[in-house]
Each structure stands twice: as C-alpha cells, then as structure tokens.
Chains A and B, each alone.
Chain A
Amino acid sequence: MRYLMTTGQNSRAADEALFAEMGAFIEEMTAAGILIATGGLEPGGVVMTSQGDEITVTDGPFVEAKEEILGFALVEVSSHEEALEVSRRFRRIVGDGSSVLHRVMGP
C-alpha cells in the first residue's frame, strides 16, 4: 500500500547536519524499496478554480503560511503502522512541525 506524506514548515534549521541526516534517511528508505518519490515544494503555488464554464487562475499564497505544504514523500509500505513509523523517523529529524499522511487509493 502507498501513502502520501506531506509536511509544512519545520523548526530545525536547514544546515549541513540536517542535509546529511536527511540524505542518509532518504538513501536508506530508497534502498529498502520504501521511498518511491520525494521532493520539496515552492511556497505559494497557483490556484486554479472552475465554476461553470469559467476557469480562474490565481497566484498563491492561498493558505496560511503555517498550513502550507512544503514537502512530500510517496512511500510503499506493508501496513498503516509502518507508514506511521516511517513518518515518525522523519519527524525525529526535522524538529517541531507536523506531517499529514494520506493512503493513496488504487491504482
């Protein structure tokens, strides 16, 4: 089963130590076949709304800065608990903040 994990702003400063720790974690999860894809997201973004025949495009930001999604990871796990555990390991590295986990339905 697959989960999409998203995260907003986290407290730990993005220094060399964080990159090293995060790099090792990503490498381990990839080698284990767990991590499928991951990336950081540009703040702000673009909102596209459709109503009737009308499609409106608005430049972000469109949510409170603290609710903004700034990173994601798509993982392949064998259980819901394993998804939680992988996410716990991520949170231990990045400091204060929050992540949201969604199970990906399908394909």
Chain B
Amino acid sequence: MTPARGGGLPAQVDAVWKLESARIVAALTRMVHDVGLAEELAQDALVAALEQWPAEGVPDNPGAWLTSVAKRRAVDHLRRADRAERARTALAATPEADDVPADEDADVLRLMFLSCHPVLPTAARLALTLRLLGGLSVDEIARAFLVDAATVGRRIADAKRTLAQEGAAFAMPDREELAARLSSVLEVVYLLFNEGYAATAGHDLLRPDLCGQALRLGHRLAALAPSEPEVHGLLALMELQASRAAARTGPAGEPVPLHEQDRGRWDPVHVRRGFTAMLRARDLGARDLGGAPGPYVLQAAIAVCHAQARRAEDTDWAAIAALYDRLAAQLPTPVVALNRAVAVARARGPAEGLALVEALRDDPRLRDYHLLPGVRADLLARLGREAEARREYARAAALTRNDAERAFLDARAADLVAAPAGPTLEEVAARFLDGLAAPARRAYGQTLRRLVRGLGGTTPLAATTAADVARVLTTSWGTAAPATWNRHRAAVRSFAAWCGRPELASDLVRRSSSSVPTPPVTPDRVAALCDDPAVPVRERALWSLLHESGAPVRAVLALDVGDLDRDDRSTHDRAVTWRSRTARLLEELLAGRARGPVFLADRRPGPARTPEPADRCPDTGRARLSYERAEYLFKHSSGGATLRRLRAGR
C-alpha cells in the first residue's frame, strides 16, 4: 500500500482549522469583547495543537479540543487582567459564556457583521472576512489577491485597530441598521466571488479559490439569516454563475459569450443549488407583502431565466428584459443599463436595443468601457449596418485590456465586409498634426486623440458627421470650464477646416466664460464627495488630502509614496499634513505600493508618450496623474468647481 496522500499532520490541523475557526473565533470574541484578541487566543490554540498532537496523537474530536483549549486561554486571559478590569469584563462575559447555552450560530453571524463593518475600507473587509470566517492564513489571502503578505498583514492589523477604536460592537445590528449592515456583508461576499470569477489569468495552483470561499460564506449566511430574501438571492446568483465557470472560456482561453456556451458543460450541481436558493428567496419574498425584490434576487432571477433555457434560442428574453427594467430602477448604473439594452434587443429587436445604447453614449462613465462599443457593434451588425459595426468592433478592441477579448473582437470585425475606401479619421488626423509646429501639435493633439478614440480610428473621414463630433466633445469636456471647452472647439474647427469639412464643427457652440456658475465647495460638500463609494478611491484621497492639507495642487500631485510618513500623517518634510479621513483613504489607495507617484493615471501611457522615470510607477508602468486629468475629474464630480477651490473651501 502507498502512504496516504496529503501533507501529514500540519495539513490535517489546517483542514480542521478551516472548518472550525469561525465558530471558535466567534465564541472567543463574545468572551473577551475584542476580535483582535480573540483571534490571537484562537491562534494560540492552533499552535498548541501543532505542538501536542504529534506527540499525543490527534484527539477524537479535534474541533472540540481546539475550542476548549482556546476558551481556557480566554478564561486565563480574563483572570490575568487587572482586578477591577476583570470585575467589569468577566461579569459582563461570564453569565453568557457559562450559564446560557452559547448560540454558536448567532456568534458566527455577529462575527460576519463585524468583519464586514462599514467603518472598514473595502480591501480590509475582504481580507478580514477571509481571515476570520474562512480561516485562511495571511499568506493564502495574499496569494488570493496577488499582493504581498506584508500588505495583507498590515490591512488586517489596521482593520482590527479600527474596529477597536470605533468601538464596533460584537452584536446584532439594530432593526433600523440591519438592512444597511446586511447589504455590507452581501457586498463583501459578492466582491470575493467576483474577484475569483474574473481572475481567469491566475496560473498559481496554490491560489485559494475565492469563488469557493464566497460560496461557503453564502451558504453559511443563508443558514444563519434564513429569513432574508436577499441572502438567498445572492447565493442563487453565485451558484448559477459558478455553474457556468467551465463553459465560459474556450480551449484557447478566449471568452465564450453566454448564448454561444455549450450548455452541457453547465454544472448541474450548482444549477440545482442555485434553483433551491432562488425558490427560498421567492417564498420569503411572497410572504413579505409589498416588499419589492432586491437587486440580488432580481439578478438571480435573470440568471435563472438563462439556466432554464436548454438552448440559447429558448431563452425567455421578454422575461429577462422585464427583470432588467426593474433592476435598472433599483440599481441605476450605466452597466446595468447597458445589459438591459442587450436584453431589450433580444426581446424586442435590435433597433429598440440600439436606441437604449445610443442614450448611453453620452455617459462619461462609459467613455472608455469597451463593452459599450462592443454591444453597439453587435446591434449594428444585426441591423445590417456592417460598416459602422466594423468600426465599433475595432474601437472596442482598442479599448479592452484583455488580449483574448481583443482577438475575439478583431475576429468579429474581420467577419464583416470591408469598410468603404477613403482615408480614415486616424490617418487624416495624423497628417494634420504632422503639418503643425510643435506647440500647436501638442495643444491640438490631445483634442484629436480623444476625437479619434471616441469615433474609432478606422472610421473613414467621409462617414463622420457633425453630430458624432459634437457627441465626443460633449462627453469628454461638456462639464469643463468654458475656456477649456473653447480650446478644444478651436482645435476641432481648425482640423475640420484643414481637411475641407468645416461643417464637422458646426454643432460646437462657443461658450461664454461667465455662463457656468460654480457652486462653492463647503466642508459638507467635500465630506459628501469624499465618502461617495461610487467615486474611485484615488479621487477621494486626492480631494480629501487637498482639503485637509491646504497644500498647493501641484505639490500634492508631485508626491511620491516614499515622501509620506503615513503613521505621522504628514510628509517627511512636514510640508503637507493630513487628518484621519485622508489617512484612511491613503491606506486604501496605497495598499501594497511602496514607491512611485502617490496618484497614478488610469492606464499605462502609449509608447509615444513615455513620461520621465520620476513620473512613472516602477511597478505598474502607470504615469503620474496629470493636473488636467485631476481637474477634469473633480469638475465632473463637483459640478464644475476647480481643485483650487477645494483648498480654499477649508
């Protein structure tokens, strides 16, 4: 006989730990009222197991052994605590711990609420949840998120400190708080799931399976909070998405769209569990009269419609479109709106879908989102507008960052008939810029690059209309200061005149400089902007730092990670100092980064625009965030105010 596979005793202890740790940590937290301490005591028990089990053998019930050793340590700790302290803490803790039978399930649920507490930044909630509820080690969490272990260790330590400082209670949230707190837990679980679901690139075989962890948490939550429809909705959504995991990539790693997937490869076990969870959500919803289904139940219902169709052509698109109508009312995000357009196109024809897509083209949030031109291309192709479809596929391919997806979009474009002859917009723009003196080339270059990207480089100049040009400029600079708008307008007018199509600029109206009143930036307004979860953390950290420090905008944008003394909340030279909100946002922003500019651009610069090494992150290659871009982003979010007003608004 060959010896049993596996890593021997340490691996066995680890497996026991992953099954039992949530219960143990939860029980200890109730005893010592401090989740950080509880986790340390539980770890002590784990160390004791690793020391004693090899010599004494594995106990009959290893879970119970770990629990009782950990509880003994907790009692020792309470005894050691100073007398007055003990009287206070132990009196509060003992009756529950000893007299009343402990409700282990309720404790685990409390622990979930704590690790997903809204005072914590998102990254910390994810790490802490994996640590406390999943029993994952710091190294395992680091591998799961592809960051280094020190970063995760710091994130978890900071999170525990924050929970202690904020006095976050190990208790069930109040009735009025419950919905918001529960949605924070659901959000963490779904983020973990999506982090795992999207990460198809990871080839690290030791990378823990985040989808599996999220599903475990979802099942656990469904057992702990069985009367919440959204909990079952989330579980159903995750199970049904998990069922398609194997079918959604082809042999070469290329994405396979839902309607082209081999449905025989959908995992029936996940489908069945998804349906079971959905039935529960539906039963609860039916009992809860007047309560409309929440966003997770609606998304799960959409997933159910897909799972019920044996063939793609059997899909009940009318039902899906109706569900998206309701979802869009609850989650009015542009991405939901785009998915709704896809469903409407299937249900009621491509023309109606395209009409919804057209309405999204002016949304600046989707400006660089490759699926917008991708969806538009599909619909145009189905309407027989092949030349336009080709250009949109090419534009989508230029915007995506995923190689497999780019190849897929390029292939779709190539399937369509060749575009009409004639010079493309990109070629004409390049010739125009080449003929200019260097300063003008720089000034006009920004405008024309944006125009080319917005319309697609392969669009023939002849097919471009004044309305197209106006749309791109409005999406890009519609909320900018009048002077900025007029500068870009002038660039387009000059280009249009040069290439013999002056009418292309005819829809661009010159703006007078006093026409846009800028609202004052009050501290309340700053707080609202800095706490808006819909805004990326980079922007919020920058705004908060400018507001709290009063430092000049250029000086703040010039900061490198190495300039900051984050413990002291100031730069090493004390020129820029900040307070707690900025400190929190900086931690979130800089997680895992030790060098390079603090504020980075969204993407790597093109080869022709390589910045100085000092203005580039050595790890990611991304450039320092420019003043212009930072200004644009703030104007866009604040309704036209400039970054300098943020300083003055203190």
Give Cα A74 to B273, complex, Å.
14
User: Contact mask B74-114 → A, CB, 8 Å, 1/0?
Assistant: 00000000000000000000000000000000000000000
- Least CB distance from A57 to B in Å reads 28
B500 CB-CB contact with A under 8 Å: no
Contact A82 B19 (CB under 8 A): yes
* CB-based contact B223/A85 at 8 Å: no
Interface stretch of the complex, out of B207-215, B310-318, B401-409: B207-215
Contacts of B370 in A (CB 8 A): none
Q: What total of chain B residues lie within 8 Å of the partner, measured CB to CB?
A: 29
Q: Are B14 and A31 in contact (CB under 8 A)?
A: no
Q: Which of A64-93 contact B (CB under 8 A)?
A: 74, 76, 78-82, 84-86, 92
Pair A33/B215 contact, Cβ less than 8 Å = yes
Give Cα A84–Cα B18 distance, bound, in whole angstroms. 13
Q: Are B12 and A85 in contact (CB-based, < 8 A)?
A: yes
Encoded as 1 (CB less than 8 Å from any A CB) or 0, chain B from 1 to 38 comes to 00011110001101110110000000000000000000
By a CB distance below 8 angstroms, the chain A residues around B61 are 92
Chain A interface SS verdict (over half): mixed
Q: How far does the alpha carbon of A29 sit from the alpha carbon of B573 in the complex, in Å? A: 57
Contact A81 B15 (CB under 8 A): yes
Report the bound CA distance from A37 to B216 in whole Å. Answer: 16
A78–B6 touching, CB < 8 Å? no
Q: How far is the CA of A33 from the CA of B232 in the complex (A)?
A: 13
CB within 8 Å for A81 and B6 given contacts A32-B220, A33-B219, A107-B267: yes
A contact residues, total (Cβ < 8 Å): 18
Chain A residue at minimum C-beta to C-beta distance from B247:
A107
Across the two chains, which residue of chain A brings its CB closest to B219? A33
CB neighbours (8 Å) of B18 from chain A are 78, 82
Contact A85 B6 (CB under 8 A): no
Asked if B212 contacts A81 (CB within 8 A), the reply is no
List residues of chain B with CB within 8 A of the CB of A24. none
Contact A32–B219 (Cβ < 8 Å): yes
Q: Report the number of A-B residue pairs with Cβ-Cβ less than 8 Å.
A: 55
The residue of chain B having its C-beta at the shortest distance from the C-beta of A2 within the complex is B269
Q: How far is the CB of B104 from chain A (nearest CB, A)?
A: 11
Q: Which of B5, B213, B219 interacts with A80 by CB under 8 Å?
A: B5
Asked whether B267 lies within 8 Å of A81 as measured between CB atoms, the reply is no
Please, how many angstroms separate the alpha-carbon atoms of A37 and B14 in the complex?
Answer: 25
Residue A47 is within 8 A (CB to CB) of chain B in the complex: no
CA distance A84 to B62 in the complex (A): 13
Taking the complex as formed, is A36 at the interface, i.e. its CB lies under 8 A from any CB of chain B?
A: yes
Across the interface, which residues of B come within 8 angstroms of A36, CB to CB? 269, 273
Asked if B60 contacts A79 (CB within 8 A), the reply is: no
A37 to B276 Cα, complex, angstroms: 14
Residues of B within 8 A of A85 (CB): 12, 15-16, 19
Q: Give B211-231 interface residues, CB cut-off 8 Å to A.
A: 212-213, 215-216, 218-220, 222-223
In the complex, what residues of A have CB within 8 A of residue B215's CB? Answer: 33
In the complex, are the beta carbons of B15 and A33 less than 8 A apart?
A: no
Chain A residues with CB under 8 Å of B14's CB are: 81
Whether B216 and A33, one on each chain, are in contact in the complex, defined by CB atoms closer than 8 angstroms, is: yes
A31 to B219, CA, bound (A): 6
Residues A33 and B218 in contact, CB atoms below 8 Å apart: yes
| B22, closest chain A residue (CB) | A32
Specify which chain B residues have a CB less than 8 angstroms from the CB of A74 in the assembled complex.
Answer: 269
What's the nearest-Cβ distance from chain B to residue A39, in Å? 15
Residues of B within 8 A of A84 (CB): 4, 6, 12, 15
B355 at the binding interface (Cβ < 8 Å)? no
Q: B174-215 vs A: 1/0 string, CB under 8 Å?
A: 000000000000000000000000000000000011001101
Smallest beta-carbon distance B24→chain A, Å: 15
B603: A residues at CB distance < 8 A: none
> Which of chain B's residues have a CB closer than 8 A to the CB of A37?
269
Question: Quick check: A107 and B12 within 8 Å, CB to CB?
Answer: no
CB interface residues, A 1-55, toward B, < 8 Å: 2, 31-33, 36-37
14 further A-B contacts with Cβ under 8 Å, apart from A84-B12, A85-B19, A107-B265, are A31-B220, A32-B19, A32-B220, A33-B218, A74-B269, A76-B212, A81-B7, A81-B15, A82-B15, A82-B18, A84-B4, A85-B12, A92-B60, A92-B61
Q: List 26 A-B contacts (CB under 8 A).
A: A31-B220, A32-B19, A32-B216, A32-B223, A33-B216, A33-B218, A33-B220, A33-B273, A36-B269, A36-B273, A74-B269, A78-B18, A78-B209, A78-B212, A78-B216, A79-B11, A80-B5, A81-B12, A81-B15, A82-B19, A84-B6, A85-B15, A92-B60, A92-B61, A107-B265, A107-B267
The 10 A-B residue pairs with the shortest CB-CB distance in the complex, in nearest-first order: A33-B219, A31-B223, A81-B15, A85-B15, A81-B11, A82-B15, A33-B216, A81-B6, A36-B269, A78-B212
